[in-house]
Amino acid sequence: MTSRFAQWTLDVQDVRRQAEFWSAVLGYTIDYGDDGDAHLWPPDGGLSVWLQAAGEPKSGKNRDHPDLVAADGDVAAEVERLLSLGATHADVGQNGDEGFTVLADPEGNEFCLLHRR
C-alpha cells in the first residue's frame, strides 16, 4: 500500500487574496468555506489546494514549495503572466544557471516555474 498526494495546503493571512491569486495561476475554481478557509479545485480532478487562515505572516524561506510548468511551454510569457497576477521574483540563493525561475506569491511564499518538464 502507498500514499498519494491529494492536496497542497498553505497557511495564509489573506485567504481571499491568496485564493484569487492561486486560482488565476492554476485555472482552479474557488470554494470558500464557512470557516474562513478556501479550497481550490482543479478542472481535471488533480491535486487540489487548501488555503487556511494563519495568524502570523510568513517568515524565512519555505521548506517546501510547488514546482509549476507553463502549460503551453512558453516560459517567458508565463513568467510575465504570473508577475501580472501579483507574483514577484524571489531570491533563494540561485546563481542564474538553474532550469527554473523562482517566484513568490503575494504573501512571499516561494514557488518555481520549471523551464522544461
pTM of the model: 0.91
Could you read off the pLDDT of 90-99 as tens digits, one per residue?
988 888 889 9
> 64-117: which CATH topology?
2,3-Dihydroxybiphenyl 1,2-Dioxygenase; domain 1 (3.10.180)
28: β partners: none
- Please give the helix or strand (H or E) that residue 26 lies within, else none: helix 15-26
Instruction: Render pLDDT for 52-71 as a digit per residue (tens, 0 to 9).
Output: 998 888 887 878 899 999 99
CATH fold for domain 1-56: 2,3-Dihydroxybiphenyl 1,2-Dioxygenase; domain 1 (3.10.180)
Domain ranges of the chain: 1-56, 64-117
Whole-number Å distance between alpha carbons of 88 and 85 = 9
**Does 64-117 match 1-56 at the fold level?**
yes
Cell output for 10: 498553505
Using CA atoms, how far apart are residues 16 and 107, in angstroms rounded to an integer?
12
